[in-house]
Amino acid sequence: MGIKVAKFGGTSLADAGQFRKVQSIVLADEERRYIVPSAPGKRHSSDQKITDLLYLCHAHAKEGVPFDEVFDIISNRYIEIVEELGLTIDISAYLADIKEKIAGGYSEDYVASRGEYLNGLILAELLGYDFVDAAEIICFNEAGIFDQEKTDEVIRERLADCERAVIPGFYGSRPNGAIQTFSRGGSDITGAIVARGVGADIYENWTDVSGFLMADPRIVNNPKPIERITYRELRELAYMGANVLHEDSIFPVRQAGIPINIKNTNDPEAAGTLIVPNGVETAKPGTITGIAGRKDFTVIALEKTLMNSELGFGRKLLSIIESHGISFEHMPTGIDSICLVISDDQLEGKLDSIIEDIKHQLKPDAINVYPNMAMIATVGQGMSRTPGIAAKLFGALGEAGINVRMIDQGSSEINIIIGVETEDFEKAIRAIYWAFVE
């Protein structure tokens, strides 16, 4: 029998009805053996997430402010879930213990982690699975850094005789037993770690959307879902601002070459998005996988005759920006010209002194600064070694009347990045999308 690890996000476990959906998804496939839940999320847009309320309780307790009212909201959510599911777990006893510990000054990480802990206990009973506390198997070192080697070893040992288990997401523990959480949204990381530890065939990440979309739906009307994408393509899209899984949250499975399937708890039949190891064919030649972009860049453009033969020019330029504590995003070059594309949040307050240093040290013939630039990445394995892709892309932009200010294509040919004026950003994304998608 294969092994699937399934992580369920907060909205998938926001109330008893959602728990029931999770139950039927898990029980529909006997390979779904290790389940990683988040804490209850929002039931509707104005609702509160349990994790946020737990942080609030801790903050109040720390300031000596009563937190009973906030804690009651948390308690009621869990009590309602347990009652509606008809479970026997004595949730009130667990809640009373947690409340006492919050009042007793337990750490912020401990308090925040209880949302997942309680959801884990509830889900384990509902599914008839073992409950394995993440504190036992997700290991951090004394300095609070995640210890992958130790965790892999502990997971293998602890889960060897445990055929089916629920393991709460978001936290683990240090060698002294102190609870430590990952960054917000960290249940994704726990799911990936468990998938790697048990050598899963697939890591299912259940959310409330049917996978990633090819473009931002606020810009493109009803964009198509991405069916398959490689880790590498995903990274390029995420880097350029697409709202997809964060790099940190997938490194354990990426390293192990385990595919991730993004699925929708509210529409389990939809295929979702399958993230596969690099090198696996994902797309037909001539197609793109997705488009993403970001605003708020500044371009510094330098010109100098015979720049190309001036030894050390590029190095000096880069050491100037390094000396200002700045990193650049892209650096397209011409024969006698070089551009640096820098994100505005890096540049804040430093532009004038950088320009001064460049003028002084490099003596360029011209130096121009172009603010208000936006960068758009068109990503896809199907673009590589396919003639006509660039013509199609730039043809569409030309037809839409968009002036492309900068072009950058990596040697991998899976990503063409263009720079446009901020005001052309949305229009450019739509033009590219409709050039490639019928």
Binding site for ligand ASP (CB under 6 A): 10, 38-39, 49, 51, 115, 169-170, 184-188
In the complex, the smallest distance separating the C-beta of residue 51 from ligand ASP, rounded to whole angstroms, is 4
* Position with the least CB separation from ligand ASP: 187
- Shortest gap between Cβ of 54 and ligand ASP (angstroms)? 9
* Pair of tokens at residue 207: 């959310």
> Based on CB atoms, which residue is closest to ligand ASP, 185 or 225?
185
- Which CB, 10 or 290, lies closer to ligand ASP? 10
* Phi/psi of residue 396, nearest 5 degrees: -65, -40
**Which of residues 184 and 363 has its CB atom nearest to ligand ASP in the complex?**
184
Shortest spacing between CB 120 and ligand ASP, in angstroms: 12
Give the nearest distance from C-beta 145 to ligand ASP in angstroms. 19
Alpha carbons 260 and 44: distance in angstroms, whole number: 27
- Minimum distance between the CB of residue 39 and ligand ASP, rounded to whole angstroms? 4
Phi, then psi, of 111 in degrees rounded to 5:
-60, -45
Distance of closest approach, residue 168 Cβ to ligand ASP, in angstroms: 10
Task: Label each residue of 176-214 as H, E or C.
Answer: CCCEEECCCCCHHHHHHHHHHHCCCCEEEEEECCCCCEC
Using alpha carbons, list the distances in angstroms from residue 141 to 148, 151, 194, 198.
10, 10, 18, 21
State the DSSP string of 263-303: EETT-TTS--EEEE-TTS--S-TT---EEEEEEEEEEEEEE
CA distances from 37 to 32, 100, 181 (A): 13, 24, 14
SS3 245: coil
Nearer to ligand ASP, 170 or 433 (CB): 170
